[in-house]
A and B are shown apart, each in its own frame.
Chain A
Amino acid sequence: MSDQTTPTVDNLREIAEQVWSAYLDPEGIRPLMLGETSEASSGVSASVSLTGAWHGHVVVTCSSEAARNAAAAFLAMETTEVSDEDMTDVMGELANIVGGNVKSMLPAATAVSLPHVVTGAANRFPTTRQICELAGTWLDEPFSISMWQSRELAEVPAA
């Protein structure tokens, strides 16, 4: 695996800007504020797996409140109207969109899985290492997008 096909935090930032512009902040008044963030104690984590020529995961993690805000923005409804199903569906779709866009940067023979969403517990990916993370707050709630690469491939020395 060469660095040429390893997505970077700049790639994640570019994808996030498109997602915020299209769905989460179309009016440009509620941006993702990049910077330090603490892990949400009771959050939502959505992921898609990438397999084939590149092995790893794209993970979108945020607090329950941020997931509720995201669902309200995606579905054009009030946060009080958002159901748990809305939250998990929207978080899964967020992971799917980011993962699909990341796929276009990876070797051609890489497949994206259907999304997987975990609520109220940490999402763990054994035998992987985090290769980049876009982290910050959205509407004062923690929000992060990260990429994890399978360790056996990640540890191959660069040529």
Chain B
Amino acid sequence: MKILIADDSRVMRQIVIRTLRQAGFDGHDLVEAADGREAHDAAVAHKPDLVVSDWNMPEMTGIQVLSALRAAGNNVPFGFVTSECTAEMQNAAQAAGALFFIIKPFTPERFKEALSTVLG
């Protein structure tokens, strides 16, 4: 499967990739995006099987990326990994069609729990 990882922090993209591996999700093709616009364009161009996205990013926020994709009829499985975790954000994510909402700092166990339905 192909996974798009969107986060403006290079460090956090590396940690997400490492945590995916630690959670047992090895051997997937990984695509990275460093801001929201890149994430949107990569989701269209690369047709990933899953998008794991930060919320607060330059150019477009994660929720703007998700909403734009859904508005264009793109139903790629999409979830958030973010340090911000208000009830309003979680409700907005769910309403927009997000599959999961992982809060930083996170553990491999949390990744396994959230992603196993998508990645098996």
Contacts and interface: CB of A to CB of B under 8 A. Distances in A.
Interface in A75-99: 75-76, 86, 89-90, 92-93, 96-99
B107 interface: yes
Contacts of B87: 108
Interface string A96-138: 1111110110001000101000000000000000000000000
Interface stretch (B10-18, B93-101, B112-120): B10-18
B84 interface: yes
A99 B105 CA distance: 12
Q: Per DSSP, are chain A's interface residues mostly helix, strand or loop, or mixed?
A: helix
B68 interface: no
Contacts, number: 59
B56 A114 contact: yes
Contacts of B85: 100-101, 103-104
B64 to A, nearest CB: 14
Nearest to B84: A100
Q: Per DSSP, are chain B's interface residues mostly helix, strand or loop, or mixed?
A: loop
Given A101-B85, A112-B56, A21 B9 contact: no
A19 interface: yes
16 contacts: A22-B107, A23-B105, A89-B9, A92-B11, A93-B12, A96-B83, A97-B83, A97-B104, A98-B83, A99-B83, A100-B56, A100-B85, A101-B85, A103-B86, A112-B84, A114-B8
